[in-house]
Structure 1
Amino acid sequence: MAIKKNALYSSLWASCDELRGGMDASQYKDYVLTMLFMKYVSDKAKANPYSMIEVPLGARYEDMVALKGDKEIGDKINKIIAALAEKNDLKGVIDIADFNDEDKLGKGKEMQDRLSKLVGIFEGLNLTGNRADGDDLLGDAYEYLMRHFATESGKSKGQFYTPSEVSRILAKVIGIHSDTPQDCTVYDPTCGSGSLLLKVNDQAPRGLSIFGQENDNATSALARMNMILHDSSTAKIWKGNTLTDPQWKEANGKLKTFDFAVANPPFSNKNWTSGLNAEKDEFDRFTWGIPPEKNGDYAFLLHIIKSLKSNGKGAVILPHGVLFRGNAEARIRENLIKQGYIKGIIGLPANLFYGTGIPACIIVIDKEYAQARSGIFMVDASKSFAKDGNKNRLRSQDIHKIVDVFTKQLELPCYSRMVLLSEIAGNDYNLNIPRYIDSSEPEDIHDLSAHLQGGIPNRDIDALARFWQVFPSIRATLFAECKKQAAREGYSEALVKSSDVKSTILNHDEFKTFAAQSLVAFTEWAQRSNLKAIEQAELPKQIIHRISEDLLQSYSQTPLLSKYDIYQILMDYWAEVMQDDVYVLVQDGWLAGKVLRELVVKKGEKLKETPDLVIGKAKYKAELIPPALIVARFFTAEQAQVDNLHSLLDSASQELETYLEENSGDEGLLNDALNDKDKVTKATVTARLKLATDPDEKAALKQAKKLFDFEADAKKALKEAQDALDLAVFKQYPKLSIDEIKSLIVDDKWLATLESNIIAEIERVTQQLANRVKELEERYNEPLPALTQSVENLSYKVAGHLKTMGLEWAL
């Protein structure tokens, strides 16, 4: 069977557990990723003798497997890796981790067991002939591990990885098109593990020529491995400090220039001048000003601008401070703005990155149109994110919206606008985004007149205009002009109790029409998506791109619903379920729908997966089609019988529980019949019944036994029916036809789930209307005079009660 992405990820992360204890995440990542690399290239070479990486005799992964339990396993693994490194010019790249380090891996038996388990985990992954290989299955797994390592490495050691969501934005906004040639170059002067470069490379139809530099030795090694795992083995990654010793230079000693550049440099580097005389920089990078000695943000930006061709384009992640800090940075910022190099600025949410929690921005550079630039396009995406543990994360919809708005230069209220250079000059070249885009929530102002005299302000009702455009009659159902006081113009009264607002909306014909029309777009999309035509060797990433873009477009004109929210529904379900399903289908075909995989547990181990079916003692996992879908399509009568038996069992158990409660108290017949230490069970009741002589006692015991028997019989009948149903389902899998498999997976599983989630989204939107209407009604329901009168009436009642009790209370 094909390797499912989520299954692969969990296996890889399990490998990390074998190394915990002796080192932190920033260290053990080197061991795990090296092992993944060795397994990958070994399987690659086995499948393709002309593979880019040559695996010499004695350096295969199988040779590592043979070392399990060997007392010298650490030293021998080092030698295997060294042989592969020597053969492929990878010394200093894949041999960074020392597998014989007793301080990190333990001594003697501890190291032997730990490494044996680690090798065993990777041994179970078959990466030989996965048809999804061109879809970066292993590369994505590498990214997955990087993200987890960065999360666990802590604030000071997580800077080797740029979150892939942010990387995707940079890759999409720098101007790569469908006709971008393969010989175009992309450069990252602080490339870390290389993920940002690879995301840019993915945007070009035929790839790009990749160049990078990374100061940290171990991280540059990770980048080289990352490139090979992503089938970009020709990428050139150098080690060294970009500012003090840039490696990419022309023959004349000047900096090499590139078509594209991206970077996520270390924020506010305080040692950037170490080993560098900025005033006499041989590369003339600081023509527009020298950055402060204790803050290197602009040093990296200026290096990138100098490294771009005259028509080059780039994107750099920097802390927000670069937009507004004064003194030397203000002069540099002014000069760059006047030169027209800055095309746009994208403000990001705080707490996205692993090395810091501060908010950052993306500065987009475009030299090609610098002279004609009359403004800077700004996007404030600081409020578009989802919480993910202790970090914030950009969702698929957030990324898509940012890219759409920026690339199409769409001006949206409170989100984006083109800011003219003249306006920026009027603000002393301060680029702080809140100066130009107000993304704050409008204040919810209370109406004092309404609080005093009653009525709901029409301006608050009118503010819901986007709903009334779709539901004009619902407004008339919920509100009417005030009738109690004719002079109260501009105010309305509620016609429906606040508790009934939601049901009134949901049951209204206008809402039902809106809901039905909103699902038409989904139905038409489902037909166009033609998911039943998925074939082997298709690329899953191309499939999700095609269907997600189509769904986004399908809801672009639907009122009230956000096309990006609908898009997110699909992307979430893709990540959770569809992605794994599709990976199996493109490798093994639709016949994989018949597969029930038996879960075999080795002695002493626990079952790692929850079985879908249990037949006798055998446990099975369905690869693609959950048993519930088989039951719903083929065994509805049998399931109805099981449900009925469940109800009978529940009734029997409830009746027994009630009887025992009524007769087991201090004066209960069962309590008198049994000893204080005896629990009321079928066994104790049966035993006591044989000895009982009192008629009332015997009657109580007989009834208890009868109810215990009823419950036991119900349990037995239910188990027999459920076992028979499970066996019938088990036997149905091999009988499934291709058409039935396609219908079960596409119609009953995928589309049914997506439709259900979209219906929930439709109701969520109307819930917003219901909540606001309810809030307004409750806010102004009782004006101040009514509240005062109510207090006065209650006070008199209290005084009356106190007087009756012989107490006086003066009002």
Structure 2
Amino acid sequence: MAIKKTELYSSLWASCDELRGGMDASQYKDYVLTLLFMKYVSDKYKGDLYGMIVVPAGASFDDMVALKGDKEIGDKINKIIARLAEENDLKGVIDVADFNDEDKLGKGKEMIDRLSKLIGIFEGLDLSANRADGDDLLGDAYEYLMRHFATESGKSKGQFYTPAEVSQILAKVIGINSETPQDATVYDPTCGSGSLLLKASDQAPRGLSIFGQEMDNATSALARMNMILHNNATAKIWKGNTLSDPQWKEANGQLKTFDFAVANPPFSNKNWTSGLNPEKDEFGRFEWGIPPEKNGDYAFLLHIIKSLKSTGKGAVILPHGVLFRGNAEARIRENLIKQGYIKGIIGLPANLFYGTGIPACIIVIDKEHSHARRGIFMVDASKGFMKDGNKNRLRAQDIHKIVDVFTHQRELPRYSRMVPLSEIATNDYNLNIPRYIDASEPEDLHDLSAHLQGGIPNRDIDALAPYWRVFPSLRSTLFQPAREGYSQSLVKAAEVKTTILNHPEFQAFAAQSLQPFSAWCGQAALDQIKEGDNPKQLIHRIGETLLESYSEAPLLDRYDIYQILMDYWAETMQDDVYLLVQEGWQAGRVLRELVVKKGEKLKEQPDLVIAKTRYKTDLIPPQLIVARFFAAEQAQIDQLQSAVDSATQALESYLEENSGDDGLLADALNDKDKITKASVTARLKLATEPDEVAALKQAKKHFDAEARAKKALKEAQEALDLAVFKQYPQLSEAEIKTLIVEDKWLATLRTRIEAEIERITQQLANRVKELEERYAEPLPALTQQVESLSDRVAGHLRAMGLEWEA
């Protein structure tokens, strides 16, 4: 059976464990990625005379496998890689890591064992059969590793990787779409490992012509490997400093221009003028101004603008400082705004990137429509993210919302607006987003009159208007007028949520909110998945239709509903779909036997154990088979489980009652101060007192009853497990589809959407409860209570003979 995406990822990460200790992540990534590359090209191109990569004799991963245990394994691996590199013009790309480095890999047996284990991990992966048509499993695995390497490499060494989520945004906001031709060009002057370029190319149906440059030698090698693993072997990646020695030029010596550009340059580079005299720049990049000598942010931006065609579009990640810093940068910023080059600015959350924790923004460039520019579209997306370890990470819903809003220039309160150039001019061309978008939450003000005289301000109740529009009579159920401008609560704070959940308008809302989901289930046509389908296209299609289904749903945020699907896709559906498009629906009948070699630990928990043989189900969990085919048997097991619980409880109660120091079972304690069936049986042979004998016999009855109940449960469970085991190969395709689509996928999604509907209600209940508790006791009543309690305390003290004068 084809390997699951998550299993591939975990296997690759396990390979990293073999290298920890001798080096840090910024170093061992070169070893792991090189072996991934060797394994992939060997599986895909070995014996293929017309493949993009030629695998000559003695240069495949199989030749590495033959070296396991060899005393010269490190040196021989280097030679195998060198042979492949020489044949394919990949010298300096795949031969960067030295597999014979004793300082990093250990000496003698330590190196032999480490490299042998490392090769063994990759040997167990079949990468040839794991590329669904139009999809890129290995490329995704490479991306997965790069993210983990960046996380572990720390601030100073993690800058080779732009988070995939941010890369997606840049690729989408520059306008690459299904109409973009294959010969359109995309350029990244600081391409790192190439993730931005690949994400941009992914947006075009047949890809783009890719051009990149990267200063760091090892990182440019990663980019070249990344391109090949993503089936972009023709991508052109140059080594060198883009600012001082740009490689991409026209025949006349001027900079080559491109249709699109994406970039994540090093933030605030202090050495950008190294090898460069900006006042005499032969390419005319600094006609709008020369950036400060110790800060190169605008140097990269100006280079990109110069490298775009007159119709070109680009997106650049830069620190927020470029939006508001003064002096030379202020002059450049003003000139670019007046030229109309800046189409938009997207403010991102802090701590997204691996090289720095500071917040960044995306500057979107559009030269084609610069002459007609009348404003700059701004988005403050700084609050939409999730925590991921010690970093923040954009969720699928955050990405989609940013792209939707920017693409359609949709203005949302506290999130986005089109800012006229005239307004920007009045602010001295300062582009700091908070000047134009107030993203702060409205302050929750306390009402002094309510605190003094009681009642809940109608202003606070009116602020819940979106709820009252959906639940028009619920307001009168919860509140009634008290005095002018104030109301009083009709429901106790502890009963608010129950009152809302039981209200007929909420129940109607809950039912209505599931109707779009029911309609989507039919549109999604998940039971029509077939071999060769593209999983990424599938999740894109069903994700977009789910978003559309909930576009008009009251109270519910359609992006929250979309996130439910995307989370479940990442957890479960993705692996399931990858198996289905490679193996077909018959994969639902397959049970994998878990074989553990001597001395190894079990890596996966079995789903079924039949006659001591452990099995794993990849698509249909046994409980789904039980629910659909063996409900009566399960009900009997539930009854037997109740009988076991009752017998155990009766036994424990009896032992507790009679096992104290003076108890009748005190002498039945074993060496561990426990009473067991064996210790009771042993004591019975010695006991002579009638009361003790009777107590021991009763204890033995309880032990026997519990044993019989457990035996009956075990036999019934084993019988059910065997019946389930035999059911798998008998499943028809229709039954498999029902079990996977209806019972597993859609049932899970429905449950989670129902929880989201209830969460909306919880928000209302929490606010109503908060308002009621805040104004429940007016100040005069509190003062009177304090005085009353003070008098009572004084009275008690006088009764105790304690008095004092104020």
TM-score of the superposed pair, with normalisation by structure 2: 0.99
Residues in 2 aligned to 1:98 and 1:218: alpha-carbon distance in whole angstroms: 12
Q: Is 2:789 the counterpart of 1:789?
A: no
What SS does the corresponding residue of 1:241 show, helix, strand or coil?
coil
Given that 2:668 and 2:675 are in contact with CA atoms closer than 8 Å, whether structure 1 keeps it comes out as no
8 Å contact kept, 2:151–2:158: yes
Q: Which residue of 1 aligns with 2:22?
A: 22
Partner of 1:602: 597
1:182 alignment partner in structure 2: 182
Aligned to 2:453: 453
Q: For the Cα contact (< 8 Å) 1:131–1:586, is it kept in 2?
A: no
Relative distance call for 1:49 and 1:722 in structure 2 (3 A) is farther
- Corresponding position: 1:237 with 2:234: no
Say whether the 8 Å CA contact 2:378–2:418 is kept in structure 1.
Answer: yes
Match of 1:644 in 2: 639
**d(CA) in 2 for partners of 1:208, 1:180:** 8
Q: Which residue number corresponds to residue 383 of structure 2?
A: 383
Displacement after TM superposition at 1:808 (Å): 3.1
Q: Quick one: distance in 1 between partners of 2:186 and 2:23?
A: 35
Q: Partner residue of 1:417?
A: 417
| Secondary structure of the structure 1 residue equivalent to 2:160 | coil
User: Which residue number in structure 2 is paired with residue 250 of structure 1?
Assistant: 250
Within the candidate set 711, 728, 733, 2:723 is matched to: 728
Deviates more, 1:458-467 or 1:677-686: 677-686
Q: Unpaired segments of 5 or more residues in structure 1?
A: 483-487
- 3-state secondary structure, aligned to 2:127: coil
Structure 2 residue corresponding to 1:617, chosen from 612, 622, 625:
612
Where does residue 716 of structure 1 map in the other structure?
Answer: 711
Cα drift, residue 47 of structure 1: 7.3
CA contact (8 A) 1:799 1:809 kept: no
CA 1:489–1:677: 2 relative to 1, 3 Å = closer
> What is the CA-CA distance between 1:809 and the residue it aligns to?
5.9
Q: CA deviation at 1:376?
A: 0.4
Contact 1:150 / 1:160 at 8 angstroms: preserved in 2? yes
Instruction: State whether structure 2 residue 792 is matched by structure 1 residue 771.
Output: no
Deviation at 1:714, TM superposition (A): 1.5
1:742 alignment partner AA? K
CA distance in structure 2 between the partners assigned to 1:372 and 1:775 by the alignment: 51
Structure 1 residues 133 and 146 mapped into 2: Cα distance closer, same or farther (>3 Å)?
farther
Are 1:75 and 2:70 counterparts? no
Structure-2 residue corresponding to 1:748: 743
> Whole-Å Cα distance in 2 between the matches of residues 515 and 790 of structure 1?
43
- Residue 677 of structure 1, CA deviation: 6.1
Matching residue within 498, 501, 505 for 2:500: 505
Find the residue that maps to 1:760 and give its secondary structure.
helix
* Secondary structure of 2:267 counterpart: coil
Q: Which amino acid aligns with 2:767?
A: R
* Equivalent pair of 2:670/2:679 in contact (CA under 8 Å): no
Hey, what does 2:430 align to over in structure 1? Answer: 430
**1:361-400 aligned within 5 A:** 361-400=361-400
CA distance, structure 1, for counterparts of residue 11 and residue 263 of structure 2: 31
2:308 corresponds in structure 1 to: 308
Q: Map 1:473-552 onto structure 2 (within 5 A).
A: 473-482=473-482, 488-552=483-547
* Distance change (3 Å), C-alpha of 1:530 and 1:674: closer
In structure 2, the gaps of 5 or more residues are none
Alpha carbons 2:47, 2:55 under 8 Å: kept:
no
Moved more, 669-678 or 744-753: 669-678
1:329 paired with 2:324, answer no
- Aligned partner of 2:101 in structure 1 is 101
TM-aligned CA deviation for residue 276 of structure 1? 0.9
Aligned to 1:36: 36
Residues 77 and 651 (structure 1), Cα distance of their counterparts in 2 relative to 1, 3 Å cut: same
> Aligned pair 1:705/2:713, yes or no?
no
Contact 2:543–2:565, Cα closer than 8 Å, also in 1: yes
The corresponding residue for 1:762 is 757
Partner Cα distance (2:511, 2:50) in 1: 57
Q: Take 2:331 and 2:216, find their aligned partners in 1: how far apart are those partners?
A: 31
Structure 2 residue aligned with 1:689: 684
Task: Tell me by how many angstroms 1:29 deviates.
Answer: 0.3
Return the alpha-carbon distance in structure 2 between the equivalents of residues 90 and 166 of structure 1: 29
CA drift of 1:133 comes to 5.5
Contact in 2 for aligned 1:673/1:697 (Cα 8 Å): no
Three-state SS of the structure 2 residue aligned to 1:377 is strand
User: How many angstroms apart in 1 are the aligned matches of 2:102 and 2:588?
Assistant: 47
Post-superposition Cα deviations, 1:727-764, rounded to whole Å, max 9, x if no partner, equal: 11111101101000000000000000000000000000
Q: Could you give the per-residue CA deviations for residues 285-328 of structure 1, whole angstroms, max 9, x where no partner exists?
A: 11111111111000000000010011110000000000000111
Matched residues, percent identical? 82
Structure 1 pair 65–509 and aligned structure 2 pair: CA distance change class (3 A): same
Q: Distance in 2 between matches of 1:229 and 1:351?
A: 29
- AA partner of residue 796 (structure 2): H
- The residue identity in structure 2 corresponding to 1:493 is Q
Residues 677 and 168 of structure 1: is their aligned pair in 2 closer, same or farther, counting only changes over 3 Å?
A: closer
Q: How does 1:649-660 map to 2 (within 5 A)?
A: 649-660=644-655
Using the TM superposition, give the Cα deviation of residue 392 of structure 1 relative to its aligned residue in structure 2, in angstroms. 0.4
Q: Which amino acid aligns with 1:33?
A: L
Tell me if structure 2 keeps the 8 A contact 1:47–1:129: no
Contact 1:4-1:583 at 8 Å conserved across structures: yes
Deviation of the 1:690 alpha carbon: 1.1
- Report the counterpart of residue 485 of structure 1 in structure 2: none
The superposition leaves residues 779-809 of structure 1 with CA deviations (integer Å, 9 ceiling, x where unpaired) of 0011111111112222222223333333336
Distance 1:748 1:261 in 2: 46
The one-letter code of the counterpart of 2:490 is L
CA distance in 1, matches of 2:370, 2:653: 83
Tell me the amino acid that sits aligned with residue 296 of structure 1.
Answer: G
- How many residue pairs match? The answer is 806
Tell me which moved more, 677-686 or 528-537. 677-686
Is 1:558 aligned with 2:559?
A: no
Residues 803 and 809 in structure 1, CA contact (< 8 A), matched pair in contact too: no
Q: For residues 183-223 of structure 1, what are the alpha-carbon distances to aligned partners after superposition, in whole Å with 9 as ceiling and x for unaligned?
A: 11100000000000000001111211100000000000000
Q: Provide the rounded CA distance (Å) in 1 between the counterparts of 2:258 and 2:734.
A: 52
Residue 21 of structure 2 aligns to which amino acid in structure 1?
A: G
User: 2:133–2:533: 8 Å Cα contact kept in structure 1?
Assistant: no
Q: Which digits, 9 at most, give the CA deviation of each residue in 1:334-372, with x for residues without a partner?
A: 111111100000000000000000000000000011111
Q: CA deviation at 1:674?
A: 4.7
Q: CA separation of 1:675/1:72 partners in 2, compared to 1, >3 Å: closer, same or farther? A: closer
- Residue in structure 1 matching 2:578, options 573, 577, 583: 583
Equivalent residues of 1:379, 1:415 under 8 A apart: yes
SS of the equivalent of 1:74 reads helix
Q: Which residue of 2 aligns with 1:52?
A: 52
Letter in 1 for 2:380: D
Equivalences for 1:103-182 in 2 at 5 Å? 103-132=103-132, 134-182=134-182
State the partner residue of 1:802: 797
Q: Taking structure 1 as the reference length, what is the TM-score of the superposition?
A: 0.98
Amino acid at match of 1:665: G
Q: Using a 3 Å threshold, how does the CA distance of structure 1 residues 521 and 678 change in structure 2: closer, same or farther?
A: closer
Deviation at 1:672, TM superposition (A): 4.5
Distance 1:4-1:573 versus aligned 2 partners, 3 A rule: same
Deviation of the 1:646 alpha carbon: 1.2
Gap change, CA 1:87 and 1:47, over 3 Å in 2: closer
Could you tell me how far apart the structure 1 residues matched to 2:721 and 2:49 are? Answer: 47
Instruction: Provide the rounded CA distance (Å) in 1 between the counterparts of 2:662 and 2:788.
Output: 49
Are the equivalent residues in 2 in contact too, given 1:673–1:692 (CA < 8 A)?
no
Partner of residue 659 from structure 2, selected from 647, 655, 664 = 664
Opposite residue 435 of structure 1, the aligned amino acid is: R
Shift in Å, 1:130: 3.1
Residue matched to 2:298 = 298
